[in-house]
Structure formats: structure tokens, C-alpha cells
Structure 1
Amino acid sequence: MAKRAKAPAKRSQAAPKLPKVSPGELVTLLDFVRYATSRFNEAKLTFAHGTTDPVAEAAFLLGETLHLHPDQFENFATARVTASEARAILDVISRRISSRQPAAYLVNKIYMRGLPFYVDRRVIVPRSFIGELFDSHFGGPAGEGPSLIEDASAMENVLELCTGSGCLAILAAHAFPNAHIDAVDISKDALAVAARNVADFGLEDRVQLHRGDLYAPVANKRYDLIIANPPYVDAEGMAGLPPECRAEPKLAFDGGTDGLDVVRRILEQANRHLTAEGGLLCEIGRCRSALEAAYPCTEFLWLDTEDSEGEVFWIAASDLANLHARGD
């Protein structure tokens, strides 16, 4: 789910035309990054889809247009751009401004934890914080650091709800190499994108996709870990979504009046699908105060990441059992 962005100021219906660029005026990749940044600022674009500012957005679009991995961009920042490359770069800059689509849709790619994933308008652009938490709070790839589960390497079954493009299920497969991953989504279109990503990573034998409403497709199966990044934008937030977010599937955003419609259902049923030592890892954006008001007797463990604070919570299976016992 997205971090909620403020709606931009109203602007003219006509898309701004890019200033004419004469041959030789823009030479290097950095020249084009500066030019794109100026145009993005001028157009008052919103950045909430893997990049958080116009410079990072420009670098991402240029890199993908020139088939450069983000890690390679710095090595070629001062390299000259060919005439055909310049035309392609100016075209993608123009389309980003005129369409107000997320950059990821224009290049059909987004990176999470350094891995590339295919995306298109059938799915929300993934930008979850949960992938970072796999490393920081489950022992990391080397089995070091604090762990929310005593032996994360021994996890056998993981469930991801609202999988969308399947990126978190794939990251979970990498983080927990001994686990089978069930990934559920209600959208047929989203699962088609997820299937492409699962196949691209060769994980068909470990990541199984299911179509259905939350836990319905997995019946009474129990899991060591449940992951969820559900729709959590409240009614006020839905009314103020910027054009970039309105280009994404509404189903992936709309969390009802207070943003917690789907979150409540996930919480209320989670204990039936967790092993005794398991837990739920759930991202809810800026709904912390609403969640704590809805469950005043429950102590959620809030997990911060490099770019977020209080947007993801953890609750152990034992605490979920107590939640039901108290009748929160």
C-alpha cells in the first residue's frame, strides 16, 4: 500500500508541453536528470511509487529507458547520450507529465530490495516496507540480528494476503528459503501479474497463488507467519488521492470509512490460521491511531524501517488469542 500523499494543487486540463531542446544542449545523463527534475517540479507531480522526490524519479526513468540497473547509474552519470537515446528519454519524461501515471507503469518495472518486478495497471505499484523487515527482524539472510520468530530459518509455511504483484511473496521466499508461500488476492488481474513475477524468479514450486477473499482459499491451514499489506486508505484519503494514485486499482486502496475494514477482518481471523509460535506482520500506513482506538486493550508492536515510523505492526499468535478473549 501507498504512503498517503496530499493532493496536488489544481492545474490546467491541458498537459504542459516540454520546452524545445536543441541538439547539443543536453549531453550527459546528469544533464537529462536535471532537465527532468525541473520539468517534474514545474508540473507539480506526486512521487509515492518507489521514489520520493523528482531527482530519484528522473534517475529511475532514465536508467530504465537506457537499460541500466539502478546500481549502474552512477558509473555512467557523466556519459554522453546518443541522439536516439535522447529522443527516448524526452519521450518518457513527456509521458510521465502528460499521463500522470506512476513511473513504474511507463517502464513496467519497479525495484524492491534491489530485485526487479514486472508491474502494469492491473496492480498497485508495490512500495511496502515489509521487505526490509524480513532482514531486520527475522534474523536477516545470515541469521543474525533480532528475530520476532525464534527460528525463522525453520519456518515451513508463510501466507501473504492481498499479494497484488506477488513481490512480498517472492521476497519472503528469498528470506525464508525453507518455507512454502501461499499468496492470496481477490483480483484475477493482479494474480496474472503475480504469476508472471513468480515465473520470472523460477519460484513456481514454492509460491502458490490463490484467488479469493483473504483466508477463504486456504481453509484451515496454519502458518508460521502471515504477511498482509491490505487496502487501508480511509474515506478522506480516498477523496484526496493524487492523479498518480488514482491511476492504480481502487480496490487496492479503499479501506472504508476509517481505513480498517480489511484490517479488522485480517485480525479477527488470523489466530485460526497461525501456529502457536507464529505471528501477523501487517502494514497499515497512517492508520495507527485508528487501530489503537479500535483495539484499546491490545498492545501492538510497531516496527520502524529506514523510511517509515509506526506504519507496520507485529502481533504474535498468543496476543491474537488474548485479543479475542478480551472481546476488543
Structure 2
Amino acid sequence: MNQNEIIDQTAVVTELVTLRDYWRYAISRFNAAELSYGHGTDTASDDAAFLILDSLELPIDVLDPFLDAKLLPAERRMLAERIEMRVMSRKPSAYITGRSYIQGVRFHVDERVIVPRSHIGEILFSEYLNENGSAFLPDPMLVESAVDLCTGSGCLAVLAAKFYPNARVDAVDLSADALDVAAINVEAHEVEDQVELLEGDLFAPIAGRTYDLIITNPPYVDHEALDGYPPEYQAEPRLAHDGGVDGLDLVRRILSDAPQFLNAGGGLLCEIGSGREILEEEFPHLDFAWIETAQSQDAVFWISAEALGVSDGTD
């Protein structure tokens, strides 16, 4: 049998009864179809677990207690359909459930935005949940203004509002569709009073404003990598990935313009993917601090306002 052929859903629902049955079945289907991962999961096993647990409104990181639970007929039909959809459409599982998570925080997603998976979310949690405070990020209680450039689903803007309770947070994106999704997440997390959504190209919508913190996870995929994307990544908006020939077009613009929008004592937190060597060669005068995460040592940099030439006005 061709594993990419649509399987009889009636037979699946009749024969498979427990959550364990559907997990095993999904893993087999995903492996046979040679799916790709990377949208919050890295293996067929993890992706199957996410799709099943999130669909059933169960904790996405707790599988064992539910493995032998018998599923209701409606639940079995839903899982069979979603497993088949994952195989046949090659869409990320997060698009199928309509949800994605950063450090356990849930966000709405759909095909208008890329599936959130920024290292910056991990950094915010690890730095600010550290009992000794952050080694480089400003005191969260002293931050009065922040901007999230290329906000997409708005996830980083929402997290910024939560970590910086006294801050006005602007969230900028070129895509009106993406901002519609961001609005859903801003409302769901009840941060409408803090977060303003602005449509435009990088700093253009915020001319004249300055910030204690700039956060950005801009498009940074180079054209060669973009052309070789598997279907799961092609399902996401190309605009949200396209960083130019070497992936750093927007990063260069952000570095060039950031000093005009930073307050003294602030800084820029930026994710760039794999362009460290290019960036350091082009900007040898800048003091980048590269931040290690669970999956990378040089995908995110921090640079202070002072290192970018911002003066505190005392000279």
C-alpha cells in the first residue's frame, strides 16, 4: 500500500481505541510518509504526541498518564482525521490544532503567520526566572517601553508585556494578516492595555518613538535554504522567512536604524539564525554578546544601546 494514499477512516476508528493506539498509529504514518519537523517538535514521536494531546485539550508535555485511556467515538474520529490531514497536507501540526506554545504559554496560530519557535522566548524565561536576575537584560520593573519588530503572531510582544508590567509594548509587522492573528493573541492574554499593534516596515510606523528594549525575530532565511524548504516550511508565509540572498538583509537594516530608537541603558535582542560570521565581519566595531540557548550558541545576540553609540547625554 502507498503510505500517502488516504486510509479508510472507518477502519481506523473501529480498530483503534486508546490514546496509545493513536500515538503508535500516528508515528507509523508519519515515519512512512517521511514528514519533516521543526515547528516545536523534532521527531515523529514528539509530533504525534503534540497533535494528539493538543487536540484532546490535554497537557502537551504529559503523555504517560493518558496512554491507556479509552477515547470516545468523536475523539477517535477527530484524531484519525487530523493524523491523516498531517500526512496528506504536510502542514505543521500546529496549523492543524490552531495552537503553538512558547515555554508552555499557548498562542493561536494559523497559516497567516509562521509557527512561533523563537529562541528569544526561551531567553526571556531563563533570564527573568533566574533568582539572580538577568546577566544582560534590563531590570523588568524599570522597562517602560519596548518594541517587537516583525511580531508575526504577537507571541514575543505578549511575553514582553508579561515580563515588563510597566512597559508600553509596540508590536510591528509588515503583514496585515499577521497582525490580525497577533490581535487574537493580545486579546486572549488580556494585554490590550499594554500592547499596540502597528502595520509597517520595521521602524517606519514608530518614527519619533524611543524604547528601553528592542526585541526582534526578523526573517533571516537565505534564498538557497528557502528554495530547499520541505512542504511543512513552505506552508508558512514566505515573507516571514525571506531574509535575502544571505539571510541578513533585515538584520543589517535593524542594526543601522536601532540607535535612533533606543534609550540610553537599553539594548537590542535579535535572532539571526546562522549568520554570525557574516555579521561580525561586516560590523567588527560592534560588541555582540551571543546568547546560548538549548539548541544554539549563536542564533541570538544582545547589544547594548551604548555599544550602538547611544549616549546618556552626560558627556
TM-score (ref. length: structure 1): 0.88
**8 Å Cα contact 1:160/1:183 also seen in 2:** yes
Q: List per-residue Cα deviations over 1:155-210 (Å, max 9, x = no partner).
A: 10011000000000001111112211100001000000101110111111001110
What SS class does the counterpart of residue 308 from structure 1 fall into?
coil
Does 2:101 correspond to 1:116? Answer: no
Picking from 192, 199, 218, the partner of 1:211 is 199
- Which residue number corresponds to residue 196 of structure 1? 184
Contact 2:55 2:97 in 1 (8 A): yes
Deviation (angstroms), 1:288: 1.6
Could you tell me how far 1:130 is from its partner in structure 2?
0.4
Q: SS where residue 280 of structure 2 aligns? A: helix
- In 2, distance between residues paired with 1:31 and 1:22? 10
How far does the alpha carbon of each residue in 1:238-267 deviate from its partner, in whole angstroms, 9 at most, with x for none? 111111111111100001111011110000
Q: What's the C-alpha RMSD, in Å, of the aligned pairs?
A: 2.0
For the Cα contact (< 8 Å) 2:140–2:165, is it kept in 1? Answer: no
Equivalent position to 1:32, from 19, 22, 32: 22
Partner of 2:151: 163
One-letter identity of the residue aligned with 2:6: K
Letter in 2 for 1:132: E
Structure 1 residue 142: Cα displacement: 6.9
What pairs up with 1:125-204 in 2 under 5 angstroms?
A: 125-137=115-127, 140-141=128-129, 144-204=132-192
Contact 2:102/2:122 (CA < 8 Å) preserved in 1? Answer: no
1:82 matches 2:72:
yes
Judge which range, 142-151 or 72-81, deviates more: 142-151
On the 8 A contact 2:99/2:108 being kept in 1, the answer is yes
**Distance of 1:173 and 1:125 partners within structure 2:** 20
Q: What's the secondary structure of 1:221's corresponding residue?
A: coil
Percent same amino acid among aligned pairs? 49
Following TM superposition, by how much is the alpha carbon of 1:221 offset from its aligned partner in structure 2, in angstroms?
1.1
Deviation of 1:33 after TM superposition, in Å, equals 1.1
Q: Which moved more, 1:226-235 or 1:169-178?
A: 169-178
The structural deviation recorded for 1:147 is 3.0
CA distance in 2, matches of 1:86, 1:66: 10
Q: Assess, with a 3 A threshold, how the Cα gap between structure 1 residues 40 and 19 changes in structure 2: closer, same or farther.
A: farther
Q: Which residue among 225, 243, 247 is the counterpart of 2:231?
A: 243
Q: What letter is aligned with 1:94? A: E
| Paired AA for residue 270 in structure 1 | A
CA contact (8 A) 2:13 2:76 kept: no
Q: Which amino acid counterpart does residue 290 of structure 2 have in structure 1?
A: W
Q: Is the 8 A contact 1:149 1:277 kept in 2?
A: no
Q: What's the counterpart of residue 305 of structure 2? A: 317
Which residue type is aligned with residue 25 of structure 2? Y
In structure 1, the residue matched to 2:58 is 68
Unaligned runs of 5+ in 2: 311-315
Specify the alignment match of 1:283 in structure 2.
Answer: 271
| Structure 2 residue 124 is the aligned partner of structure 1 residue 99 | no
What are the equivalent positions in structure 2 for 1:247-266 lying under 5 Å apart? 247-266=235-254
Mapped partners of 1:264, 1:203: distance in 2: 31
Match of 2:6 in 1: 17
For the residues of structure 1 that align with 2:174 and 2:256, how far apart are their CA atoms?
18
Instruction: Describe the SS at the equivalent of 2:114.
Output: coil
The yes-or-no answer on 1:294 pairing with 2:294 is no
Aligned length: 308
Contact 2:100 2:108 (8 Å CA) reproduced: yes
For 2:289, give the aligned amino acid: L
TM-score by length of 2: 0.92
C-alpha spacing 1:185/1:279, structure 2 compared with 1 (3 Å) = same
1:214, CA displacement in angstroms? Answer: 0.6
* Aligned partner of residue 96 in structure 1, secondary structure: helix
Distance in 2 (CA, whole Å) between partners of 1:125 and 1:286 is 19
